[in-house]
Amino acid sequence: MRIGNRIFPYPVLNANTDLTNYLDCSKFYFEFETTSEGQVIVENGFIQFKGLHFILKNRELNDLYQKGKIKAAFVLECSSSAYRKSFPLGLEPKDLKIEACDLNGTVSASAYLYANCDIRKYSNREFNDIYRNYKFDLDKFDILAVDDGGSFRVNVDPTEDNKVSSIFTVVRDERDDEIVAVDCESRKIVIRLPRPYYEQYCKMKRMNDYNNISFAMLAVPALTSCLSEIRKSDFESLDDLIENYTWMDSVQKAYKHVTGKEFDLDILKKEQPFKIAQILLNHSSCKGIKSFGEMISGTMEESVEEYE
C-alpha cells in the first residue's frame, strides 16, 4: 500500500518532504529498534519489530488522534509471498513479531494516519501556502498522513526453505482407489497419491495460496503418522535415530529454527506427534482452515491484527 506519488484531493502530511502539503515543522513517521547494523531483528524464526510506534508533530492532528477521530496503521507487504497485513500503530512503543516463513525477499513497511469517522471542515494552521485558507470534508478511512518507510529483505534460512522437500516426497501411485498411503522410509517420508488425485495435487502446489491447505491435508498427517511410529522405537540417542531416518535431521533443525529449542528424544516421547507436526509445518492445520474459508467466501481480506 505504498502511496508514492499519489495525488489526494486534500492536504496530506507526508514523511517525504517533496510530497508533503504541510510546513516543514509538521512531521509524521514510524520507528522501531534495529540491529547495530541497522537491520531488522530476526529471532527464533520471527521478524521482530521491537518498540514499534509513530511520531507525530502537528497540533491539530494530535488533537484528532487523542479524540479518537483518527487512527494509525502499520502495513507490511511482500509480493513474493503474497503477504499483506495491517496492524494497529500507537504513540507508545510496542513489540510486533511476524513469522519469518510468511515473508521472503523484499518486504515493504509503511505507516498511515487515517480518519476513523467523517471529519467536516478540517483545517490546519500548518498547511502549506496552497491550502492554508481552505477547509476540507474528509470521509471515514481517508488518509491524512503517510510514511512510505522503506524496504528490507528477508532471506529465509535454507533449513526452513528446504524443510518440506527434505522431509517429504509426493509420488503418483497407480492404485485405483481413494486412499493416501504413507511410507516412513529411511531417506524421506513418501506420500503416495492415487493418479487422479496426484494430478490435482500438482496443480495445487503451483499456487502459494494453497500451500497451507495441501500441507494440512497431506504433510501434517503424514509426519504425525511417522513420528508416532518412530517414538515407539528404542533408539538410545537422536544421532542413532537420524542415522536410520535421515529426514529426522531436517526435523531437528526445523524445530530449533521455529522454537529456538533443541529437539531431542524427550520431546519426541513427551510431545504429541500431531502438535510437533503442526509446529514444523507453519501451523498449517489452522492456517489451512483460514485459507479455505477465505477461498470459498471469495474474500482474501486484509486483516488488522492486535499485537502485544
In a domain, 304, yes or no: no
Burial profile 112-125: b = 16 or more Cβ within 10 angstroms, e = fewer: bbbbeeebeebebe
pLDDT computed for residue 163 by the predictor:
61
In a domain, 305, yes or no: no
Q: Is the pLDDT of residue 55 over 50?
A: yes
pLDDT computed for residue 307 by the predictor:
40
In a domain, 2, yes or no: no
Q: Is the pLDDT of residue 10 over 90?
A: yes
In a domain, 57, yes or no: yes
pLDDT computed for residue 214 by the predictor:
81
Choose among 141, 143, 69, 75: nearest CA to 113: 143
Q: pLDDT band for 303, please (50, 70, 90 cuts).
A: very low
Which of 131, 154, 177 is a domain's end point?
154
Residues 175, 117 within the same domain:
no
Residues 141, 20 within the same domain:
yes
DSSP assignments along 80-142, one per residue: GGTEEEEEEE-SS-EEEEEEGGG--EEEEEEEEEEESS-EEEE--TTB-TTTTT--EEE-TT-
Distance (Å) of CA 301 to CA 24, 277, 294: 36, 28, 8
Residues 125, 203 within the same domain:
no
Residues 173, 136 within the same domain:
no
Distance between terminal CA atoms of the chain?
23
User: Total structural domains in the chain?
Assistant: 2
Which of 127, 154, 181 is a domain's end point?
154
pLDDT tens across 213-261, in order? 888 889 999 999 999 999 888 888 899 999 899 999 989 988 988 898 9
Choose among 137, 157, 182, 176: nearest CA to 47: 157
Residues 73, 182 within the same domain:
no
CA 79 to chain centre: 12
Q: pLDDT band for 160, please (50, 70, 90 cuts).
A: very low
Domain that residue 63 falls in: 13-154
> Phi and psi at residue 182, in whole multiples of 5°?
-125, 125
